[in-house]
Amino acid sequence: MLAVGPEAWQQHLVGRADLFNPTDLGSSGTLLAVWDRHWRDHPGATVLIDGSDRTSELSAEALATQTSGAAAVLVQRGVSPGDRVLWSCSPSLPSIVALLGVLRLGAVLVPVSPAMTERELRYVVHDATPSAALLERPEHAGWIDSAATSVLMVGDLVSMSDGLAPPNLDAALPGDDALIVYTSGTTGRPKGAIHTHGSLLAGVRSLQVAWGWEPDDHLILTLPLFHVHGLCAGLFGTLTAGASAVVFDRFSLDVVLGAAPVSTMFFGVPTMYHRLAESGRAGALAYLRLCVSGSAPLSADLWHRLHRVDGIEVLERYGMSETLLTISNPLVGERRPGSVGLPLPGVECFISDVDEQGVGELMVRGPSLCRGYWGKAEASASLWTDGWLATGDLASVGDGGYVTIRGRRTELIITGGHNVYPAEVEGVLARHPSVGEIAVVGVPSAEWGESVVAYVVGAQGAPDIDGLTAMAARELAPFKRPRQFRVVDALPRNAMGKVVRRELQ
């Protein structure tokens, strides 16, 4: 067992450790109380700006008023505290008002992608049994049984609230359920991880301390809000710090680079950073005080390229739907390429069942963890061992306690009795100039149990298979070398940019 405790972070807090008390983190308050205090103390402060129309913005006072109105509409439609409310929207000021109204009422937010198919949406509705659904696409209304679930369009909420009395707001307790976020389903049917108001506050407070989040920060928010990266870190972090954000419904190079001169922070996924690097214009982000990457591994080569060419020292971090963000490279101190960093304040980690390569399963414990899966008692019980959550991610610990993610436990390839970690093989072969993207999987083999197979997208034209074979022979042990290279036009990815390996297998 390799343990990494919270003390590993202290030298990087730069005088901020006194702001952080992990013993009561998330247990003595809620996000709602923090937001209400900020909005009352600074009613004229700009909180959210519409990225598509910079003249459209919400002050703290307007946000408080409109979210109260949204909550009133939900009450009129029969929603009570503790009820689930489905939210299927792109990021926008009206859709954010709607989701915050759900939370202020004390109902439980169930965010899902507006790009879901009918089959996918019906699955979540059947599983979560929401009392109401907040939608942006009218065609989705026909996919929901309106007899059981009240359907509302988010664009109509403000006008619908006229004349309605404000309901009781912000009364939820730290232990009350606040959010059910469905996993990406890379290993099976999605499961809804349940977060309380206390776990949400704990996750955000940890980031505030570790990343030095202040009221004068301005975030470029281009991430979807149906995952914890954009919702809990991006939106909830901004509101809790009393800061501001410019909100875009999707990522594009022009919107990010256009917002950079008046911003201080940007959160993205590796695909976004790859496109920024390829554009030759990523240097505009060097003026931001913090660029964060997560939701999928950022290659060390891309990190070095952004640093060397564009002057950007990307901060990579780690989290899950079930845990929120739990590990991060430091704001001040070494940001180690290829590593997700150190356990965040209040978080403990250890690596279990370590093999001869120093790799084992990452276990985490802390106040930001979910309380289980919605309606799945057996899966919830299997998630925990004496308060520790088994992440399913394979990891190793390097000098100074820095954690490196080696891949998913279910992605481990066992070939001829040897363990092969796809991330290691991908990290080597991705350096070849003919490779645009690469994913390594194990496929069944009568001889080897599993064979190592690499799926390759060319950088410009067809990849150089002979060159890749020679590189593997130079830099990888024989059992780690791909026995086949398969050229594809694109790798299958989910909404957050993670490769869906089962589709390749």
For the domain spanning 412-504, the CATH number is 3.30.300.30
Residue written as tokens 């963000």?
325
Whole-number average pLDDT of the chain: 88
Mean pLDDT of 61-65: 97
With b meaning 16 or more CB within 10 Å and e meaning fewer, what string describes 401-438? bbbbbbbbbebbbebeebbbbbbbbbbbbbebebbbbb
Specify the pTM: 0.83
More confident residue, 443 or 323: 323
Lowest mean pLDDT among 65-69, 168-172, 445-449: 445-449
Q: CB of 441 within 8 A of CB of 422?
A: yes
Please report the pLDDT score of residue 455 as a whole number.
94
What is the percent of the chain where pLDDT is above 70?
92
Please report the pLDDT score of residue 283 as a whole number.
92
Q: CB of 9 within 8 A of CB of 22?
A: no
With a cut of 70, say whether residue 19 has pLDDT above it: no
Tokens linked to 21: 């008390």
Residue-wise pLDDT tens digits, 420-451: 878 888 888 999 999 998 999 888 876 677 78
Mean pLDDT of 347-373: 90
Please report the pLDDT score of residue 495 as a whole number.
65
Residue-wise pLDDT tens digits, 266-314: 999 888 898 899 899 999 999 999 999 988 778 888 899 999 999 999 9
Distances (CA, A) of 254 to 50, 279, 443, 501: 15, 10, 40, 31
Name residues whose C-beta falls within 8 Å of residue 457's C-beta, 6 or more positions apart in sequence.
Answer: 435, 436, 437, 438, 463, 487, 488, 489, 490, 491
CA 67 to chain centre: 24
Mean pLDDT of 28-40: 93
pLDDT bracket for residue 262 (50, 70, 90) = very high
Please report the pLDDT score of residue 353 as a whole number.
85
What is the percent of the chain where pLDDT is above 90?
61
Integer Cα distance of 386 and 379 in angstroms: 15
Mean pLDDT of 225-233: 94
Integer Cα distance of 102 and 372 in angstroms: 21
Q: What is the DSSP secondary structure assignment for residue 373, as one 8-state letter?
A: B
Cα first-last separation, the chain: 31
Q: Which helix (H) or strand (E) holds 405?
A: strand 403-408
pLDDT bracket for residue 2 (50, 70, 90) = low
Mean pLDDT of 1-20: 53
CA 326 to chain centre: 11
Spelled out in words, what is the top-level CATH class assigned to the domain 29-365+372-405?
Answer: alpha beta
SS3 (DSSP) at 392: strand
Question: Between vectors from CA 89 to CA 88 and to CA 91, what angle results, nearest 5°?
Answer: 145
Task: Parse the chain into domains and list their residue ranges.
Answer: 29-365+372-405, 412-504
With a cut of 60, say whether residue 47 has pLDDT above it: yes
